Structure 1
């Protein structure tokens, strides 16, 4: 972790360059009037396949929201894999370090979306679990010369740790979205410049039920004590609580009519990263990310809903 502001000011690197180490999945989406209860068979409505995966979603969000982006990860040598790579390339994301593995299925996510926009997601990681520290090492120069490294936990933690180690050695800022949440060693927290968690992830990592702003503050403080430099707790329609060296505050969320919340958190993470590497201060970067996420929930799909930077600037005022 850097001891000074990890992205502000002049630097030898070209700012705007983001490397995402993470997952790419094909989302299999069923729409229903509501989410099923345990053991219930529920008749749904429309079905669609949509490119997704937290890594790919965040990469595409960062690219559409103003950054130059490269991605490191794995897909299968199947039709889903080809579609996923083509989707990344169509957003001008560098896929030179996306491995296409033979005889391995691409990752998939089974998603149910209710009429009110709520969703449930179950992921079969497929090729994503084949991302190794050695494959990350092959992209070390890319990470070393980036403005920010962005990681999640849908790929093996060993690969994430290797990427973070490379970033820290070379002064590259580290953003970690620990999703799906799992126990993490304190030495990894101590390498993270920006830790972005939602209520569920914050509770899983701290044991604190994040039901309001006070609880979000308590969880953020606990995560900072573990070593994370700046913690951002996203609260959906309840806004964002952040805490770090630049201060702490609650920021309200833009009011919109949600259609599908799938990918909103990824849009937030990618938008925040894109804003930070172009020099935005912490609160301005959060506000930009909130506006991007608000626009995304007004459309269906994880990636198809991610807005372009011009849309964010034009359609929603600052939070």
Structure 2
């Protein structure tokens, strides 16, 4: 069975700089490249590289940016047949700065004419999926997909990152809500991830998690706080690390992994990605991930 990844796809226009700017001014990049981005679009590539069939379901405009993004996804083995094409709109794109420490700054543009209507989703049979992963960038679409997951008793994962829209309904619907630190802080109005998880748990019957960069992941299970340290690696580029974590986590959920095992698996995939340049090119294969996990556990 396939995994469904519903949300935004973006063309990232990436420039490498020595340090991220802290003031206005002119700066010189030492490298430039274009690559597809967007939370679940990149997650879908992770799913494919980890050996699972995956459908990306998102919205694109009628422009060359759309063609570039969909061709790249297809080349990675992601099925794009269910993408919604809105001919009069401009596809989403981002300006991305990545410094020599692997940290990044992202400025995203999304055309307001990129319709958020869900009518096209009603022709998709969501009952065929083993897991449904959604981001928060198309909230109407995510709500519909998560409702379909409930209808067909399919496990669902929400990438609960920052959004200009309320994500309360999505948090309530999802079986697994994996927050970024900023996403959790915005929802719960606290910068303390542990306190935030406890507040978030009151908003859903699903499980809640928060990724905290190199510090790994915290989650609540049986009302207890659990933690799994992140894998220590030499960081080259953190772009897409959270997205890759969510793609790997959707794979783990689809396979019924025990929670800590699922987090270790997802942490490892995301960490290994950070050792390579680019949000997608560095995503490891399933074989590489399993070799690394087995090697670490043997120590």
The TM-score normalised by the length of structure 1 is 0.87
Query: 1:127 Cα shift?
Result: 8.4
Q: CA RMSD in A?
A: 2.0
Q: What is the alpha-carbon distance in structure 1 between the residues aligned to residue 13 and residue 165 of structure 2? A: 28
Quote the residue 2:159 is aligned against. Answer: 177
Quote the residue 1:57 is aligned against. Answer: 42
Query: 1:177 Cα shift?
Result: 0.9
Quote the residue 1:76 is aligned against. Answer: 61
SS in 2 for 1:162: helix
Q: What is the alpha-carbon distance in structure 1 between the residues aligned to residue 81 and residue 249 of structure 2? A: 24
Q: What is the alpha-carbon distance in structure 1 between the residues aligned to residue 249 and residue 167 of structure 2? A: 25
Encode CA deviations 1:282-317: one digit per residue, 9 max, x unaligned. Answer: 111110000000011111111112221112112354
Query: 1:154 Cα shift?
Result: 2.1
Q: What is the alpha-carbon distance in structure 1 between the residues aligned to residue 113 and residue 6 of structure 2? A: 11
SS in 1 for 2:160: coil
Which of 10, 13, 17 does residue 28 from structure 1 map onto?
13
SS in 2 for 1:95: coil
Is 1:265 equivalent to 2:248 in the alignment? no
Which of 264, 281, 285 does residue 287 from structure 1 map onto?
264
Quote the residue 1:198 is aligned against. Answer: 180
Which of 207, 212, 225 does residue 189 from structure 2 map onto?
207
Q: What is the alpha-carbon distance in structure 1 between the residues aligned to residue 290 and residue 97 of structure 2? A: 31
Higher relative contact order (CA 8 A, sep 6+): 1
Aligned length: 296
Quote the residue 2:86 is aligned against. Answer: 101
Pick closer, same or farther for the CA change 1:312–1:128 going to 2, 3 Å.
farther
Query: 1:76 Cα shift?
Result: 2.3
SS in 1 for 2:208: strand
- Give unpaired runs (5+ residues) of structure 2: none
Is 1:300 equivalent to 2:277 in the alignment? yes
Q: Which moved more, 1:216-225 or 1:186-195?
A: 186-195
